[in-house]
Amino acid sequence: MSNSDLDDVKRRMDGALESLKRDFAGLRTGRASAGLLEPITVEAYGSAMPLSQVGTIGVPEPRLLTVQVWDKSMVGAVERAIRDSELGLNPSADGQLVRVPIPELSEERRKELTKVAGRYAEQAKVAVRNVRRDGMDLLKRQEKDGDISQDEQKKLSEQIQKFTDDHIKQIDETAAVKDKEIMQV
């Protein structure tokens, strides 16, 4: 296994962690965050486009998001996309500015969101473990084919296991921070 293969394993595990952070940014915590609207797509010009490509997302207040829509004809589509996003948001248009007030979260909704966060974290762990399995399979194949020695295989598999342990720990820490953020009133 070359250094580039090892770098690829680490890069793929880093990718799973970054994906988790993006997923968490889209989870509503009761505080306004531009990341909340980023996953939303808008039907624009005959195709689905990310909200950030039809307007500028702003956070003027802790409980308010705004979308400055660039094309006046898109305001209705932006409003509809936000309303239909299942985030429980109720936008209102003011000219080309769409205001999105962030309502308080109920205790029940907070608990629901921590479960969703837990599912996201578990998906990220599964992704990391899949990368680990792929790396270990490659090592076994290379040892069997005589490309690397048994000692090298053992050393490299320990390194992959260390990457895995580090990433699982980071996922757990990130999830704990998100849970605390969601439950904070």
Looking at 79, 101, 123, which one is the last position of a domain?
A: 101
Q: 113 and 142: one domain? A: yes
- Which CATH number do you get for residue 10? 1.10.132.20
User: Minimal CA–CA distance to 28: which of 71, 86, 83?
Assistant: 86
Q: 50 and 85: one domain? A: yes
pLDDT of residue 102: 84
Q: Which domain holds residue 96?
A: 34-101
- pLDDT tens per residue across span 39-60: 788 988 888 888 888 999 998 9
pLDDT of residue 123: 93
Instruction: Report how far residue 179's alpha carbon sits from residue 177's, in angstroms, rounded to the nearest whole number.
Output: 6
Helix axes 107-144, 3-25, angle to 10 degrees: 170
- Which CATH number do you get for residue 92? 3.30.1360.40
Report yes or no on whether pTM surpasses 0.85.
Answer: no
Instruction: Report how far residue 56's alpha carbon sits from residue 69's, in angstroms, rounded to the nearest whole number.
Output: 7
Q: 44 and 88: one domain? A: yes
Instruction: Report how far residue 70's alpha carbon sits from residue 122's, in angstroms, rounded to the nearest whole number.
Output: 38
* DSSP-derived secondary structure letter, 39: T
Q: 119 and 96: one domain? A: no
pLDDT of residue 35: 79
Instruction: Report how far residue 145's alpha carbon sits from residue 134's, in angstroms, rounded to the nearest whole number.
Output: 16
Q: 166 and 117: one domain? A: yes
pLDDT of residue 29: 67
pLDDT of residue 12: 94
- With H, G, I as helix, E, B as strand and everything else as coil, classify residue 26: coil
pLDDT of residue 107: 85
- pLDDT tens per residue across span 79-92: 999 888 767 788 99
pLDDT of residue 160: 93
Q: How many domains does the chain have?
A: 2
Residue 85 structure tokens = 């996003």
Looking at 71, 101, 131, which one is the last position of a domain?
A: 101
Q: 44 and 82: one domain? A: yes
Q: 38 and 56: one domain? A: yes
- With H, G, I as helix, E, B as strand and everything else as coil, classify residue 72: helix
pLDDT of residue 155: 92
Q: What residues in the chain have per-residue pLDDT under 70?
A: 1-2, 28-30, 86, 185
